[in-house]
Each structure stands twice: as C-alpha cells, then as structure tokens.
Chains A and B, each alone.
Chain A
Amino acid sequence: MAENGAFRSMVTRRRLLAVVGATGAALTKPAWAQRMVDLPLPGGPGAREITTTFPQKGPMILQRTRPPLLETPFEVFDKGVFTPNDQFYVRWHWALIPTEIDIDKFSLSVRGHVNKTLSLSLNDILHGLPSVQLSAVNQCSGNSRGFFQPRVSGGEWANGAMGNALWTGVRLKDVLDKAGVKPGAVQVRFKGLDEPVVADAPHFMKSLDIDHARDGEVMIAYAMNGEQLPLVNGFPLRLVVPGWYATYWVKMLNDIEVLDQPDTNYWTKVAYTIPDTQHASIKPGETGVKMIPINRMVPRSFVTNVASGSKVNAGAPSFLRGIAFGGDCGVASVDFSIDRGQSWHQAQLGKDEGKYGFRQWQTHITLPTPGEYSVLIRCTNSNGVAQPDTPSWNPAGFMRNVIESTDIMAV
C-alpha cells in the first residue's frame, strides 16, 4: 500500500534563494514571494518551488524549468473531475519548443503510405471535418515515479502528472480517410513542432498501430475544457489517445506519417518500454526480461479532501471524497477499507462524464475507537481489473497504480 503522499506536502516560505541568477527570467519574482512544496518522496529530495512564471499557467510544482516539467498541485484534484487548463501538468522532452504559433500559417501534414498527401490548415480542421468531444484522463507514464522504491531516475513526480479534460477536436480516422490509407499500412507516426537541442539526437515521435489509429476514438484536439490549449500543453493541436498513457498524446502535432513498416524510432522502440510481465513488474536488478511499448492505462483512485496525518472524531462519521479512473475503461466501483484490507465497503460514485475520464466518489467513514488508521481506497474498473495491494517496480518508474493509503488519526 502506498502512503497518500501528496497530502503530506506543506507550503512554506522559501527561506533563501539557493543560487541567485543574475539574468534568469525565472527569478524575476522577489525571493519572499516564492513558495515551496515538500513532496514526500522516500529518501528525498522533495523540496520543489511552486512556480507562477509560466505563461498561461497558474501555480505549478516546478520539476524542471527547461524543458518544462510542471506538476499539478494535488489540491486541484479536489475541485472537480475536470482539471483546469492553467493547472494541467506539463511535460516536454526537448527544449526547442516554438514560443510563437501563427494560426494562419500553421499546417498539419498527412503523408507516407497514403493516396494523397495533405497539408491541412487549422481552418480545414476546425471547419472542414465533424467535431467531436470526449473527456479523457491524460496521465504521464511516469506519474508517481518519485514513490518507487528502490528509487529510479527520471522526472521525480508525486501524483500530479495527470489531469482530465473535455477534449474537442476531430477524429484521427476522418483525417486519415481524407488522405486515403493505402493497403499494407501498419502504423501511424506522430511528430510535433518541438526539436532536439542537438541536431543528430532523436526527434520526439510516437506511433500507434493502424487499427488503433483508425478506431474512431483517437482524436486530434484543438480545445481542452472548451478553450484552446495553453501553448505548453500542445497548442494548437494535440493527439488524444483515450485510455493510453500520455506519451502517445503528441503535442503541437504537425506531422502524421502512415508507415508500411513498424516504427523503429527511439521514442517508440527503445524509450517508454515496460517489462512484458504482470503489472509490468520485475525485481530490481532483474535482467533479460522481454520489453514492450507501454500502452493502456490501469485503474487508480485517490482521496482528495483529507490529507494524510489529519485528525477526525472517533465514533462519528467523517466525509471522504476523491477521484478514480478506470484506465482503459470506466470505473465499476470504488471501495474503501479501514481495517488494512480485511473488509471493503463501497463508496458512492459521482456523475459519469465518460468512461475515460475521472470519476468522483464520496462516502462517510466512521473510525470506531481512538487510534491510527490507514484508510485504503481501491478502484475496480469495468473490465474487472482492481488496483493491486503491493507496488510494482520497473527500472523506468512507469505505471504505478498500487492502492493508496491515507493515514488518519481518530481522537
């Protein structure tokens, strides 16, 4: 079981600026205005700045300035099932990110193993194809990596590298049909406008199998939560792959290439692979395991209104609320346990906003006698898959979904 860590974090005044940059744009705020958060990552370091210096973004946990890795502060998830655009987490691989997008000049190319190469303007996409909407969770493959034990390298996220939005856009299938996929196509590769800093380094690209790309669910979004995407979330176009990890949701999408051979590019074939084992789990140090590209998400659930370490009255009902998601399908049930998993009780589910989105849940718990309790929350998805009660481990720190535990003291 995992400590529901994000709640242990406390915001404190930054005591002093560790390094004073003479010209850094990030340091334009006076030292006293900077706030810190302490993420409870085992062994540390957990101190992160809360930054408000990124355009179109509100307060975010600064994991890395360049290229930006910005984590959603966990309190945000208590506000509802849709994560506001200005606090939606941000994750880039390469630092050459265009900072200016002219909507009249931008175009999306569709090429490769197709009958007709296309160059679509934003107008073609917004007004020339049927619009569709869907709510879906976008979660980094490495969300919660910082809780892995033994610890692994990478973006050292707590639980906030995820978000749920209502995506508006067009079906990828409609775009591919317009170009006419030739027989023999096997995959479709997606590329955005971001570029590697070193010329011969691998450009960030991801591929989906042709049938997946044409399933009618994968979409090209031009809006999230009813508004254009913040630039750092992928303006103007972002691929939406419902139920799949965010590595596939290519940002600033401007190039779609239909392939007649499996993609061998670094980011599809080498990076973002998981052990082909149950729960993608191996023993630390284990080698010779077959690796496969990461793919479908797995269920998760969190308490959002009570922090670990909180006190409640013994013998009286306390209100508990949170979010859950099924991963690659809907939420069937959310259950809680106050006796370390010996008995489970169903929580009440909130409105269903679509099977790929967050689902709110709520319940009242009564902790019978004074003492320390670990409250466990478990999501079972509509495919019958439940969160496991022991954490999995893999060297890249992917797919964490162990049952979370919130420590509550009854007094």
Chain B
Amino acid sequence: MLDYNVFHTIAWPGAYAWYFFVIGISVALFFFSALSWFREEFQPLRKSGFYLSFVLLVVGGLLLISDLSQPMRFLNMINPAYLKFDSPLAWGSLNLITFGIASVVYLFFMNKGDDGLAKKAAVIGALLGLGLPIYTGFDLTVHQHRPVWNTPLMPVLFVALSLLSGAAVASFLAKGNEKLMVMLRRFMLWAGGATAAMLISLLGTTAYGGSAAEITFMFMTSGTMGMIFIGLGMLVGLAAPIALLLAPVGRQPMGVMAAGVLLLVGGMALRYAILIGPQIVHTYY
C-alpha cells in the first residue's frame, strides 16, 4: 500500500567532511611542530609540519566558507552585533580565528629566531588547535535529536581522528627519520586503538538505542554507507593499518608510511560516514 511521504534533504552535506578532514590534519601537524620544542624526535617536523599545517588551515577556512550558501556573509560570524554565544558554531568560528592568529604569531617568532617566544606561541597555538577537533565533535553532539551525533564521545573521537590523520601525513614529511617514525608509529597505534574502541562502543550503543538509533545503525552498516563506514573506515582504514603497524614490516619507515596511506583513507571515510549516516533517518521524518 502506498504511503505518501515528503522527503527532506540532509542538513549538512558531505562537503563538510572535507573540512573536518583538512582541519584535523592541520591541527595535528601544528601540535607535532609544537611538540618539537619539548621532544627532540619531532625536530624535523618543526618547520615542515607547521608550514603544511598553515596551508591546510587556510584551505580549511576556505572550504568552510564555500560550504555556506551565502559565502560572502561569513563576516557576519565575526560581527559582534550578530554573534550569538549560545550557538556552538559561534565559538567554533572564534576558535578558528584565534588559532589562525596564534599560527601567524608562531610563524613570526620562529622566523625571527626568538625561541623563547616561539615556544610560548607554540603551546598556546597547540591548545587552541586542540579546541578545533573538540569543537567539530561538539558541533555534532549538540543536536539532541540525532542518534550517533548526540553522544559525548564525538569530541574525543574527533581528537583521536585528528591525531591519526595528522600522524599519517607527518610520516610523509619525516623523510624516513628513524626516531621520528618510531614516535609517529606510536601515535598511530594509540590514537588508532582509541578510535577503534570508541567506534565499537558507538556501534553497540547505537544498535541498542531507540527506533531512530536502531534504524541509523542499519543505514550505517549496510549498503553503500556500510561499505564506506565499516569497509573503508573501520576495516581498510583502521584495522588493516593497525595490523600492519604491529607486523615486523610496520616498524620500517615504508611500513609506517603505507599504514599512513590507509589511515588517511579511513580517516576521510569515517568522518564522511559519521557526518552523513546519522542524518539519513531524519530525511524520512
């Protein structure tokens, strides 16, 4: 029997996942650059990591603006007459801007050779940077009626994903430096393990949630979305690289870089699936 239903579009399209991806990498690379002031192993990433972080920050900002249906009005976000502080998005835009400012200050002192001030700017920048993946997750968490999004796991998950994708990109910048590769491998393993644990508990709680959560579980684990989330995201992009890193070849720079490639594929797939999957059920309501 034919029911009549009006369908609705999903609110946030897949393009937003690219922003999540790019900004996550940018923040992690900044973090590694900042870490170089405290851990000698990260020294090779101080400049190269930071420069790439800065480029990705600019790309991420432009992606975010181009995702608005009124891109030129992005200035409204920093107009004090309009800005509304009970919206998480308002905090996010301020976080992004302050991170950008901290990056410029860091660049300035680093190039001037003022190590003391550069180190301070690095710490402040890293803390502001940490805010960005937290805010990405928070931005999803606050939508109280969306299964998967509305869990306190989201901000932590996005921090872990940011470290994962960032370590993956950093492994290409490391130019085979043994000591750095050892550290990056550790980052990949810890962040990867944390991501896997979070995803498994997320799947469990979603499968046993209310009807909306259950249907979301079905949508996310079957069909094309299932291929992206489970296949590309969890198996190819997370389980496989962790297994690779644990194998003897995973201790070689080439092995770490190969794992990095898989992690990048997985990082993008997971962000896309987590963004889009939980919106599907609502398009039928």
- A and B associate: no
